Amino acid sequence: MIEVKVPDIGDFSDVPVIEILVSPGEVVQAEDPLVALESDKATMEVPAPSAGRVVEVLVAIGETVSEGSPILKLEPEVAIDSTSTANLGDEKNVQDPKPEPQEEIQLEAEPSVSLATADEEVPTPRQAEAVAAKVVDVPGAILASPSVRRLARELDIDLASIGGTGAKGRVTKDDVKRAHLAHAPDGVTGGIPKVPPQDFAKYGPIETRPLSRLKRLSGPHLYRAWLNVPHVTHTDEADITELEAFRKELDTEARPEGYRVTLLSFLLLASAATLASFPEVNASLSPEEDALILKRYYNIGVAVDTNDGLVVPVIKNVDRKGIIELSRELSEISERMRDGKVAPSDIQGATFSISSLGGIGGTNFTPIVNAPQAAILGVVRANMRPVWTGEAFVPRMMLPLCLSYDHRIIDGADAARFTRRLAEILGDVRQLIL
């Protein structure tokens, strides 16, 4: 077992990890890039010291590392004989000698699995000599790692035409792939013209404020979801008068313990119970879009408002937890999200989502389905209002429910039944223990 460590990266220390390029179980070749680091002055990739299989990744995006820091564990494999590749390169150079541009010598530091054809130049032995490829951050330079630049060349994408969503505007592989999709003849966004730019300064004073990193990352995802999912929103309301009285009792007991019992804990548990009765709402379309993938677990994403934008941590196995346990977990994870301590596992694996604006206000809204999920529940502020019982008007606490769903998966009638059942459970919390 090889513990791969950060090699000599010069005078840099405490450099953040900005991209993890491999995953456990993946087979890599010598010099394949493993992780990308970015200091104030350079972007660099740490290559594999030898061929092998990735056993465990020891770092997460956002963590800082220095020379000697372990980044992953590698199980060695018999290295692929590079003789034939080198000979092929020699033969190619004899048939079609072509000097490499100096820029490529600086930027290409690792061989990788490529989409290039046999007519293109193969990696030369000089690439095995580099330990980490560096891209100096100079004014006006395009920030992109060597593997991203290679992918852009293979897909014929001009990096200068892409808005990077990575740290400090760095162009990522996902940015290149999105640009390729947008320019493809059959691409989802290929036929949609962009909004033409305007010179707003002609009409008055302006201020340009950069988007936060979270918004740069979430924006393309929301745009893709809106384009691909036929959205419909169904609204209903739940009578939570008794639930709210019970919640206040629990919250009073919880405050001395350092956590709060909010309506969100009940929404989580009631949603999981309702999803069990409507499995298609907890499903996703297969990649071929000809079948449903029904998930027999209930992981629910919860939108958390932070200074940089919305983060959606995932509460796992909601159906196996009680109100107190959910309340404690919500308090803990919300605090970590607001402090920026987000691990990849915190935001992955959701089967359904909840977006609650109850602490702010509103009467209803249309949340965007977090594809490939099938639906998302939006809730706004509950209000006390008169409700007719058949004999008289009585004051009741009514909670608006807004269910946005993928109409390819869920019919309108099923959406209405799901929302009505959810309202019934919220109206009688005793059903949560049945």
**Cβ atoms of 432 and 260 closer than 8 Å:** no
Task: Name the catalytic one among 180, 221, 231, 407.
Answer: 407
Please tell me the distance from the alpha carbon of residue 213 to that of residue 210, in angstroms, as a whole number.
Answer: 9
Q: Which residues pair with 375 in a beta bridge?
A: 405
One-character DSSP codes across 60-120: -TT-EE-TT-EEEEEEE-PPPP-HHHHHHHHHHHHHS--PPPHHHHHH--S-------TTS
- Counting other chains too, the contacts that 60-64 makes at CB distance below 8 Å and 24 or more residues apart are 60/17, 60/20, 60/343, 60/344, 61/17, 61/18, 61/19, 61/20, 61/344, 62/16, 62/17, 62/340, 62/342, 63/16, 63/17, 64/14, 64/15, 64/16, 64/17
Please tell me the distance from the alpha carbon of residue 246 to that of residue 408, in angstroms, as a whole number.
Answer: 38
Task: Tell me, yes or no, if 221 is annotated catalytic.
Answer: no
Give SS3 for 261: coil
Q: In b/e form, how buried is each residue of 96-115, taking b as 16+ CB within 10 angstroms?
A: eeeeeeeeeeebbbbbbeee
Amino acid identity, residue 387? V
Tokens, residue 213: 């990193």
Q: Burial level of 8, CB count in 10 A (0-12/13-18/19+)? A: exposed
Please tell me the distance from the alpha carbon of residue 153 to that of residue 101, in angstroms, as a whole number.
Answer: 14
**Cβ atoms of 238 and 422 closer than 8 Å:** yes
β-pairing, 375-379 vs 383-388, is: unpaired
Tokens, residue 53: 């299989």
Amino acid identity, residue 262? T
Amino acid identity, residue 47? P
Which helix H or strand E contains 294, and what residues bound it?
strand 292-294
Amino acid identity, residue 430? R
Please tell me the distance from the alpha carbon of residue 364 to that of residue 379, in angstroms, as a whole number.
Answer: 7
Active site residues: 407
